[in-house]
Amino acid sequence: MPVLPRLTDSKSTADKVLIQQVQALERASTGARVATFIQGAAASWLCRHDSNQWLLLAWLAALGIFNIAAVSRTLYLRRQPLDASNALHRLRVSTALPTINGLLWAAGIWIMWVPDNLELQLLLILVIAGISQGSLQTLKAHLPALFRFFTPCVGSIVVMAFAYPGPHSLNIGVGTILYMAWCIGFGITAHREFLESTRKNFEFEELSISLQVQKDIAETAIQAKSRFLAAASHDLRQPIHAQGLFLDVLQRTTLSPAQHELVASAAAACSASAEMLNTLLDFSRIEAGVIKPQIRAFMVQPLLNKIEREFAQQADAKGLEYRSRESALAVHSDPALIELILRNLVSNAIRYTERGGLLVACRRRGSQVLLEVFDTGIGIEASQQRAVFREFHQLGNPERDRTKGLGLGLAIVEGLARTLGHALSLDSRRARGSVFRLTVPLATEAPAARLAPAEPRTAQPLRLRVLVVDDDESVRQSMQHLLRDWGCECHAVESIEAALSLSRRWVPEVVISDYQLRDQRTGVEVIEALRAAVGRGLPALLITGDTAPQRLREAVGSGLPLLHKPVSPSRLYRELVTVVPC
């Protein structure tokens, strides 16, 4: 796992600030030295006279040599690596150079000062004021460097004013002292602002790195979670799928009442496991973005009746009153997805209600229809009302009781509502209950009539040659038992090669293939190979136990009818009748 940088690592921050100080001093030195040398040359020319011209030439030569040496040294240092190990030495060099420069200017003022010439004195004061103002900006990164240049340079004016008394000496001396005090205060403030700005920049940089690392960790965790869920879901779906098919066949055999009761209990347990896996599948389908709404007009009441038939027994078992208001309204949406939303909301209401009951209502509001699920359950605090829509988030289930679900129901509801473009809202009060509202467009056209699909127990036997391709032996056996029980002639193989070999002597009328086979082969490849061998019109079904988003997108992208393990016998029967009309 990546290690997060510590924002409070003072040593690291101090080293970075030190390096920044050195860089600031070195960046400003070249241009500043050229400018001060030009100012020195101009002042020397104006202040020259017979008694000081040789001293001025010597001083100007010394100033030039110093500046050339200082610039050369700085340019050399800039080409060298700068890090915490050599930053302190570079800072000392950058501090020593302004000290020498300040002393040189102090000597220059002593040479150029003319006691009885106020104009030249004011000229020198202006030159020094300009140089000192520049130093406040170029040397503010390091106070010792600033003061070691500024003090001798400006202080020499005060010394000369009082060393050579004149009519204006007091004014010049006092004014210069006040100016020095202002400059010192300004320099300290500028230095503090520099340090504060530098530290904030580094803290922001470290915070950005920390946030990026945290984002990477979160993304890694999400990917790991998705891989784990996909792998665990796939491995669990195979035996549960086979178990469900075996139990369906067994229930149609001659059994004693006690055996029927045991088989029914086993089927109920298998159905509960399948329901939890299908919840994971619904969530994975939303994450993968493979849900494509089939929008049409439909009546709400048949859907409400279906959900009430499914959940009324659960409500009765907890002593809850289940009510559903009659409605003659039709809505414009995807009935399968609306059913899934309402099933999750009703299941959630029953799960978190201990007394009272729940109400499923449908009412019109303008051009919209409100589908509402009320309960008298534990309620949700305002601070938790957004969190409950997060995946695997559950209230009042620290022990992770499996009877309370996986914590995915409301995440699925929100994801489906977002996919459909329908508004979803929650009103709740702690210990008073909750109401979830889904806003759906009112249908403007008459709903088309839909025929109920036939069930395998009541429908005519199928007379089909069915080829099953699956690399799991238990799935192959269960599919063969079920299909033969429906009157089909069925063979089951585990690979593309075996399927092609069989098709040369026995031509199937329909193929049912698992999507993910061994050796990175897929059911799509099987179906394409068989169609090339026996005819392009060969009907086919894909079945998958994989819930990885990428796999789901690949399977859906094939354009073949896709079923998800565990597949109920009734669903498998309906799909077979659909792809191969009997």
Summarised one tens digit per residue, pLDDT across range 403-456 is 454 556 788 888 888 888 899 888 888 878 889 999 999 988 877 655 455 555
Summarised one tens digit per residue, pLDDT across range 33-85 is 777 778 778 777 877 777 777 888 888 888 888 878 877 877 777 777 877 77
The answer to the question of residue 190 being in a domain is: yes
Structural domains of the chain, count:
3
Rounded Cα distance between 284 and 277, Å, is: 10
The answer to the question of residue 267 being in a domain is: no
How far is C-alpha 66 from the chain's CA centre? Answer: 57
Summarised one tens digit per residue, pLDDT across range 1-25 is 333 333 334 457 777 778 877 777 7
Q: Across the chain, what does the average pLDDT equal?
A: 78
Q: Are 326 and 438 in contact (CB under 8 A)?
A: no
Q: Which two tokens stand for residue 28?
A: 């400003």
Q: Are residues 14 and 141 in the same domain?
A: yes
The model's confidence at residue 492, banded by pLDDT at 50, 70 and 90, is very high
Rounded Cα distance between 253 and 248, Å, is: 9
User: Which domain CATH number covers 316?
Assistant: 3.30.565.10
Q: Is residue 490's pLDDT more than 60?
A: yes
Summarised one tens digit per residue, pLDDT across range 166-190 is 777 788 888 888 888 888 888 888 8
Q: Are residues 434 and 504 in the same domain?
A: no
Q: Are residues 356 and 319 in the same domain?
A: yes
User: Which domain CATH number covers 480?
Assistant: 3.40.50.2300
Give me the pLDDT at residue 4, please.
Answer: 34
The answer to the question of residue 17 being in a domain is: yes
How far is C-alpha 378 from the chain's CA centre? Answer: 32
- Give the largest CA-CA distance in the chain: 134
The answer to the question of residue 183 being in a domain is: yes
Give me the pLDDT at residue 511, please.
Answer: 93
Q: Are 22 and 82 in contact (CB under 8 A)?
A: yes
Q: Are residues 60 and 202 in the same domain?
A: yes
Summarised one tens digit per residue, pLDDT across range 282-332 is 556 655 555 677 888 999 998 888 888 878 888 888 899 998 888 889 999
Single residue among 404, 425, 441 that ends a domain in this structure: 441
- Strand-pairing partners, residue 535, are none
The answer to the question of residue 4 being in a domain is: no
The answer to the question of residue 497 being in a domain is: yes
Q: Are residues 469 and 360 in the same domain?
A: no
Q: Are residues 554 and 421 in the same domain?
A: no
Rounded Cα distance between 31 and 71, Å, is: 9
Q: Are 466 and 510 in contact (CB under 8 A)?
A: yes
The answer to the question of residue 382 being in a domain is: yes
How far is C-alpha 80 from the chain's CA centre? Answer: 41
Rounded Cα distance between 237 and 244, Å, is: 10
Sort residue 144 into left (φ over 0), alpha (ψ -120 to 50) or beta: alpha
CA distances from 554 to 279, 282, 539 (A): 20, 16, 19
Q: Are residues 424 and 480 in the same domain?
A: no
Q: Are residues 513 and 430 in the same domain?
A: no
Single residue among 181, 212, 243 that ends a domain in this structure: 212
Q: Are 359 and 374 in contact (CB under 8 A)?
A: yes
Single residue among 158, 187, 212 that ends a domain in this structure: 212
* Host domain of residue 382: 291-441
Q: Are residues 319 and 424 in the same domain?
A: yes
Q: Is residue 391's pLDDT more than 60?
A: no
**Residue 448 DSSP symbol:** P
Q: Are residues 521 and 433 in the same domain?
A: no
Rounded Cα distance between 236 and 507, Å, is: 32
The answer to the question of residue 259 being in a domain is: no
Amino acid 133 reads: Q
Q: Are residues 474 and 425 in the same domain?
A: no
In 3-state terms, what secondary structure has residue 510? strand
Q: Are residues 435 and 299 in the same domain?
A: yes
